Amino acid sequence: MSVQSRSDRGTFRPVAGQQKTEILWDTYGVPHIYGKDVQSLFHAFGWAQMHSHGNVILRLYGQARGRAAEYWGEKYVESDQWVRTMGVPVRAQQWYDAQNPTFRNYIDAFAAGINAYTQNHAELIDDEVKGVLPVTGVDVLAHLHRVLNFTFIVNPQTVASLREEWENTQDTSTEFNQQNITPQKPLGSNGWAIAPSRSASGNAMLLANPHNPWSNLFLWYEAQLNAPGIDTYGATLVGIPVLTIGFNDNLGWTHTVNKYNGRDVYELTLADGGYRFDGKIRAFETETQTLNVRQPDGTLEEKPLTVQRSIHGPVIAQKDGKALALRVVGLDQPGALEQWWTMGLAKNLTEFEAAIKPLQIPMFTVIYADREGHIMHLFNGQVPVRSQGDYAYWSGIIPGDTSTTLSTQFHPYADLPRVLDPQSGWLQNANDPPWTTTFPAPLKPDDYPAYMVPRGPMEFRAQHSAKMLKSDERISFEKMVEYKHSTHVELAERLLDDLITAARQHGGEVGKNAADVLETWDRKTESDSRGAVLFAFWNEEVDFSNLFAVPWNEQEPLTTPNGLADPVSAVTALEAAAQRVIATYGTLDVPWGEVFRLRSGNLDLPANGGEVDIFRNLWFSPLEDGRFEAIGGESYVAAIEFSNPVRAMALVSYGNATQPNSPHVGDQLELFAKKQLRPIWRSRQEIEVHLATREVFTDVE
């Protein structure tokens, strides 16, 4: 393959029938790929992802193979054990064999692009990850499988927590339920669709805003994919060969992590070397595998791994004559990549729904808008058909001795909660159940199985999301972007007045001083907000299990919960928080941005936004100096108006690359700190104006 690379800001030249494949890299490191055909497009997309994230991708593919410890040592043993126990490498081959032959060629082309990049630019890839090469289409699917089924639907941290609590409890019966399981901080996201009736311009609009960790397999990658008849723009998680959030001239979609349970944990009763099932003894399938673990001297040490599987799935724990087995949906549904690809090719609602009806994507809400003015919210997922019980029951530990609890089918598209073109003219999801996607609420929980989706509550981020949309009769594109950056603390609206009154009534000098600071606080987490740090620390001190005088009520979803149930204990927590703030920062009214920071390379910027159920969501990790560094949350933002031409702006908070010495590592962080988006360049003419580098592929097969 021959690749010509050069800087070029030349005059726009229309291409009459794309006869070559090109990557036009813009000044923010976004690849605009023009493929002479679809296979060449996928090849170039693999090349582009390696250019931007090569080291990360090879490490992720090594982990998806279940061979990371062989490549990089002992610290990856648990990762390999998880991937192998869940059957990812073997099933990835099965998925590969089951692909539509044409689409399988596209996956192979993506893998070939990865390999071609490393052959041409070996010096830009770290030596320690080159052992993974060459990669194959099976590796691509193994990575996808690990991300979807064994990170988003269920992950090793959640399973380890469940296993530890189950092993340590005295109760080995199935009465051990969801209340015994330590919840994990959920991955978050915001999504909006606004109909022409609520848009200032009369055009439908879409807001995409996933919240993920800023590292590893959660990194977003922005790109434009062009081939004859194809022009889709959007983003995907690194290593995935199609856009998973995207838009074209006619329509667009985003995803949010939905309140969805696609995993069942079964308690088995052991007997005679097997387990009881429907009144009989059933044998486990047992397999012994070998993990090769690289030692510091470069030698490999063999470590055995024994995997037991019941009819439910792999065994994840055993004690006292009992065992736990894990069942995960979607293991026989290999078509997620082709479904996302087809979604990006759709030209109208009918074609888009035809693309998503097979339900190959195992979870995620779909928020949709199009040029014709349609908007849609779909509670998407492979929801198992259950025999009994509600959502809470199936989130716990289920009796595994009977086939009546073993789900073997999932609900078809027609069964799922779906809202199309609501009377309100707007839809939102901020990881809340679909019942609160808009108001007046068109969906009724009683019309759906109790196990499909929980009934509530509506968290504060979702409430603020809905209130912003509900309060504005004509939303402009600029206003939508402004709302997107809201740092308003909805929780403060429900508690702050009561807390200030209680502090002045029950508090000592520290409590009264804290009340004074909170009274002048703007109830936001702007970088210069004074009082936000104190309120955040109070959130850590106070007992949320008995905080509100009025609990959440689904009849009043946007005004409850409300009020302090125990003002005295709330003041005690406030005084403890105030003492921490003074001891650490020397003043109660330290600005938010002095404590919470955005860091990348030499950049160290004041943050705005935060974790307290704020629409502009950021997650922080403590630093040694008492400050906190953003490590997740706001990841990718795209604001789209289906005008003619489409108007769109975007941001990848941490930049569109992670490769060492790339100028695009962190190059969008200053825009993020200023609450700004950058324009999306889609036409070839405007891309040429903002061109940094052009790569031309002259002989891609």
Residues that are catalytic:
189, 211, 634
Angstrom distance (rounded) from CA 185 to CA 165: 17
Q: How many CB atoms lie within 10 A of CB 419?
A: 19
Q: Using only C-alpha atoms, what is the Rg of the chain?
A: 26
The answer to whether 103 and 69 have CB atoms below 8 angstroms apart is: no
List of residues 6+ apart from 331 with CB closer than 8 A = 87, 91, 149
Which one-letter amino acid corresponds to residue 164? E
Strands 31-34 and 220-227: parallel
Q: Rounded to the nearest 5°, which phi and psi values hold at 317?
A: -165, 155
Tokens 């600071």 appear where?
A: 517
CA–CA dist 176, 424 (Å, integer): 42
Minimal CA–CA distance to 691: which of 678, 681, 677, 679? 681
Structure tokens at 385: 């058909």
* Separation of alpha carbons 404 and 636, rounded Å: 43
Neighbouring C-alpha atoms within 13 Å toward the C-beta of 249: 8
Q: Which two structure tokens, joined as six digits, stand for 594?
A: 């002095």
Residue with tokens 């977003």: 220
What is the C-alpha separation between 688 and 685, in angstroms, rounded?
5
- What is the enclosing helix (H) or strand (E) of 479? helix 477-484
CA atoms within 13 A on the CB side of 467: 19
Determine the 3-state secondary structure of 520 from DSSP.
helix
Distances (CA, A) of 158 to 85, 154, 186, 284, 326: 15, 7, 11, 24, 12
The rounded distance, in Å, linking the Cα atoms of 25 and 222 is 11
Closest alpha carbon to 205 in 648, 687, 544: 648
